[in-house]
Structure 1
Amino acid sequence: MKSYKLLMAFMLSAAMFVAAGCSEPTQEDPGNAGGDGDDTTTETPGDVGEAEITLEFWNGFTGPDGEDIAKIIADFNEKYEGEIVIRSQTMPWANFYDQYRTVVTAGEAPDIAIMHLDQIAGYARYDLLTPLDELSADIGLVAKDFIPEVWNAGVYEGQRFGIPLDVHPLTLFYNVDLLEAAGYSEPPTTYDELLEMSLAIQEATDAWGIAMPVFWPSNMIFYTSLMSHGGESVSEDGLTPLYNSPEGHEALQKMVDLVYKHEVSPSDVQADGEVTLFRQGNSAFHLNGIWMIAGFEQQDGLNFATAPVPAFGDQEAVWAGSHNFVLPKQQDEDPDRLEAAMKFIQFVSENSLQWAKAGQVPATYTVLESEEFKALEHQYNASQQNFVFPPSTPFYGDAWGPTGPAVDEAMLGQLTPEEALERAAREGEANAREAAE
């Protein structure tokens, strides 16, 4: 275990990252969310009794997706009744990482956990995760079975520490009725088409073309626009911000122009205000994560569809995150418990269609290419994108985190894109260098 001083520095940097917005969701985000409460629930899904091995499984699925993962766990518990039982402990993501660090360093780690992909490198650096290369190979979980980008993203310094459960990308939601009212039958695929359709919709209806968020997930939209313009987020080692560049300036300027130059989005949108406008049929387009599907499906009278995010630049690219299975570092490793944990991970990977129904893209090709998944129209449309994951570095959150408030101030018209990104890059580099020391 690393020194207490180093661990505290990591804890502070991770806390800053969550506060910056990359992993801090709106209340609508069941897949990347958890809310702000302190409630922790423990349950053993399935009608089962005692077993030879009981595994503790930690996750942050406190939203409706918690019911979906519970169904999968129940199926596993019933299949392995008497042999292995999974006991699930669920807590808000806002509390999850602090509690994880506490129990692992105290030698009281759970057997299995879910971790956001962009957090894995930091926890691996401080020896809080168990390497999975041999364990995954032993049960046949190999690269060719997974989307390459998400499989490769679980590697830090040559070792695997995560097994992907899903992909949750940014997605375009659009109001079918409003598009038809303006004479369109297909969604936009480029920024220019998005602008053209938005203007036409505002001419034909009383709705806005799009409502650009001022707060989360505005920096995910910026990340998407940056990648589409051929820009870079941070250096490979995570210590140097690269977004304060001509590509970054143009990427953010196009977002700002939708509000102030083209006037197809209201200004000063309050937190979750863009969600409300779309729910009420008062905006035609909405940019958010795939996790919004379930909530929009429950909205009475909302005739919506999903599509890839229009390319703001010359390249097709979209921000994507992922929930990964990890095995917390144990003081005393038990081979039987490790084997049982990997059986559970393999079972969930092979039966993740239920999880896809919760509003996710499955990470495995067997599910992704199945007819059952293709029948999930919203999820399938969202899967047809070029996913770009954050770099696998412990300092990504430190270097990228300041883009959150910077993008917000640009969207509010308080700073120019150049001013906002220059300040963010200065702060991001200072944060990353301090964390690395």
Structure 2
Amino acid sequence: MKSFKLVILLIALLVAAGCSEPQQSESGVAGGEDASVETPGNVGDAEITLEFWNGFTGPDGDDIAKIIADFNEENEGEIAVRTQTMPWANFYDQYRTVVTSGEAPDIAIMHLDQIAGYARYELLTPLDELAATIGLESEDFITEVWDAGEYEGQRFGIPLDVHPLALFYNVDVLEEAGYTEPPKTYDELVEMSLTVQEKTDAHGIAMPVFWPSNMIFYSSLHSHGGESVSEDGLTPLYNSPEGEEALQKMVDLVYKHEVSPPDVQADGEVTLFRQGNSAFHINGIWMIAGFEGQDGLNFATAPVPQFGEHAAVWAGSHNFVLPKQQDEDPKRQEAAMKFIQYVSENSLQWAKAGQVPATYSVLDSDEFKELDHQYNASQQNFVFPPTSPFYGDAWGPTGPAVDEAMLGQLDPAEALERAAREGEANARDAAQ
């Protein structure tokens, strides 16, 4: 096994180059000053108290706490789960620090595109045998997200959810413009946006200059038949004719069709939609709870309009992982897997937080179909990031490149060519 010093060095390179996403403790606890600790539920002493790390600092934190409280009360005296929650911006640095120092939590949540990197440096526990003991079967999970939890033939992640991009639209603005249905294609998006601007005071759409613009580009790229990176993650493939067309269509919404204001500041597109000043908004499903809490906003959710010839939308996933322990305790691992099984079986509650369930048993349930926003967002062709430790390194430079194209500072071909050079150099350095 690699020495801890070597692991620290290699992971530092990985995280600096590749963490794409996007803590919990009281003073002095490993999670840092921005972390919070909680043991949800009315529970007493338990034989085993599990430490569970996650980055659910928003309203979704309340939803996961409700599930944990139910688990704790159901297993009172035997197992208790104590959460440590911290911002995702701090999470991965803190994670590698506590694992390499021998103070790892029992369970953690990790974004899907991070699993391969942490598995490569032996900071995760293989889950194949443990998953089999609790009866988790691949047939119950969305195939692509289940497969993406593997690295080099071993399972390291168990999916909690899927969180894709979705189209949010203002029902009242569309009705004022004479529409009752959202656009399904790029051309319809342009046509309807032009009509909205002619008949109402709202913009058609506000395209983000910054995050999540590269997720929209990822969707458009695959919709045009392009690819993000090679299977091994070392070679960028987005600087292609398909990539140029995919990005050009995004830029055209601003400068050619003029259905989006230029130079939208960070989160400015969110503000415009909240205020009823844009008809359409493309963002992650995680925005549902925030929009539901916005006074006077009558909105609905739909699949992202198809920018190219293929149906495709970026999707991520939160996965359960078991951090690597210096001294493994089978009883604690068994308790951790019991908790993971419980959450998987009760993920409808988590879906209400603004997520798509990863299991078909919940996804196909009548209860889930009653969640209109989540259900509509689930009716898309999800394209997950490739399973490679170097994906973030090769793909990462698309963020600034897309931003500069959206600002009119570089044309799409120039922006993507520069990003590809940087991405390939980053990935090769990380691999060495």
Instruction: Give yes or no for TM over 0.5.
Output: yes
Mapping of residues 30-69 of structure 1, within 5 Å? 38-69=33-64
Aligned: 1:230 with 2:228: no
1:23 and 2:21 aligned? yes
Query: 1:6 Cα shift?
Result: 5.6
**Do the aligned residues in 2 keep the contact of 1:10 with 1:435 (CA within 8 Å)?**
no
Question: Match for residue 177 of structure 1?
Answer: 172
Q: Do 2:8 and 2:96's aligned partners in 1 also have CA atoms closer than 8 Å? A: no
Contact kept? 2:177, 2:199, Cα under 8 Å: yes
Q: Displacement of 1:91 after TM fit?
A: 0.9
Q: Distance in 2 between matches of 1:342 and 1:120?
A: 18
Q: Using the alignment, how far apart are the partners of 1:211 and 1:13 within structure 2?
A: 34
Superposed CA offset, 1:130-183 (max 9, x none): 001111011110101111111111011111000000000000000111111111
Q: Which of residues 134, 152, 162 in structure 1 aligns to 2:147?
A: 152
1:8 is aligned to: 9
Shift of 1:10: 2.9
Superposition pairs of residues 34-433 of structure 1, within 5 angstroms: 38-433=33-428
CA change 1:257–1:314 in 2 (3 A) is: same
- 2:140 and 2:331 map into 1 onto residues whose CA distance is 25
Looking at structure 2, the residues matched to 93 and 258 of structure 1 have their Cα atoms a distance apart, in angstroms, of 31
Amino acid at match of 2:234: L
Runs of 4 or more consecutive aligned structure 1 residues displaced over 3 Å after TM superposition: 3-7
Q: 1:298, 1:12 → 2: CA distance?
A: 40
Task: State whether residues 121 and 394 of structure 1, in contact with CA within 8 Å, keep that contact through their aligned partners in structure 2.
Answer: yes
Cα separation, 2, equivalents of 1:93 and 1:130: 21
> How big is each residue's C-alpha offset from its partner over 1:384-429, in whole Å with a ceiling of 9 and x where there is no partner?
0100000000000000000000000000000000000000000000
Structure 1: which amino acid aligns with 2:115? Answer: I
Q: Which runs of 5+ in 2 are unaligned?
A: 23-31
Mapped contact 2:402–2:415 kept (Cα < 8 A): yes
Question: Cα distance, 1:242 vs. partner?
Answer: 0.3
Q: Distance in 1 between matches of 2:346 and 2:284?
A: 23
Report the secondary structure of 1:130's partner residue: coil
Q: For 2:96 and 2:192, how far apart are their aligned partners in 1?
A: 48
SS state at 1:287 partner: strand
- Preserved CA contact (<8 Å) 2:234 2:394: yes
DSSP-derived class of the 1:277 partner? helix
Code of the aligned partner of 1:11: A
CA distance in 1, matches of 2:6, 2:107: 27
C-alpha displacement at 1:5, in angstroms? 4.4
Query: Which piece of structure 1 moves more, 8-17 or 240-249?
Result: 8-17
Query: Structure 2: how far apart are the matches of 1:279 and 1:38?
Result: 32
Q: What are the Cα deviations for residues 268-320 of structure 1, in whole angstroms up to 9, with x where unaligned?
A: 00000000000011100000000000000111111100000011000000000
Please, what is the CA RMSD of the aligned residues?
1.1
CA contact (8 A) 1:38 1:92 kept: no
The 1-side partners of 2:6 and 2:421 are apart by: 24
User: What is the CA–CA distance in structure 2 between the aligned matches of 1:105 and 1:335, rounded to whole Å?
Assistant: 20
1:30 aligns with none
Distance 2:99 2:6 in 1: 16
Structure 1: give runs of 5+ residues left out of the alignment.
25-36
* Partner deviation per Cα, 1:211-247 (whole Å, 9 max, x = no partner): 0000000000000000100100000100000000000
Question: Separation in 2 of the partners of 1:6 and 1:409?
Answer: 35
- CA contact 1:17–1:23 (8 Å) conserved in 2: no
3-state SS of the aligned residue for 1:220?
A: helix
- Preserved CA contact (<8 Å) 2:8 2:100: no
**Aligned equivalents of 2:133 and 2:411: distance in 1?**
53
- Residue 39 of structure 1 and its aligned partner are, at CA, apart by 1.6
In 2, distance between residues paired with 1:123 and 1:268? 37
The answer as to whether partners of 2:7 and 2:100 remain within 8 angstroms in 1 is: no
What TM-score comes out, normalization by structure 1 length? 0.95
In 1, Cα distance between equivalents of 2:202 and 2:141:
41
Which letter does structure 2 place at the counterpart of 1:50?
Answer: D
Q: Is the 8 A contact 2:14 2:117 kept in 1?
A: no
Secondary structure at 2:333 match in 1: helix
Report deviation, 1:38: 4.4
Letter paired with 2:229: V
Shift of 1:369: 1.0
Aligned to 2:29: none
Q: Kindly provide the amino acid, as one letter, of the partner of residue 413 in structure 2.
A: E
Secondary structure of the corresponding residue to residue 14 of structure 1:
helix
* 8 A Cα contact 2:11 2:96, kept in partner: no
Supply the distance in 1 between the matched residues of 2:304 and 2:115 (Cα, whole angstroms): 26
Question: 2-side partners of 1:395 and 1:87: how far apart?
Answer: 32
1:7: how far off?
3.8
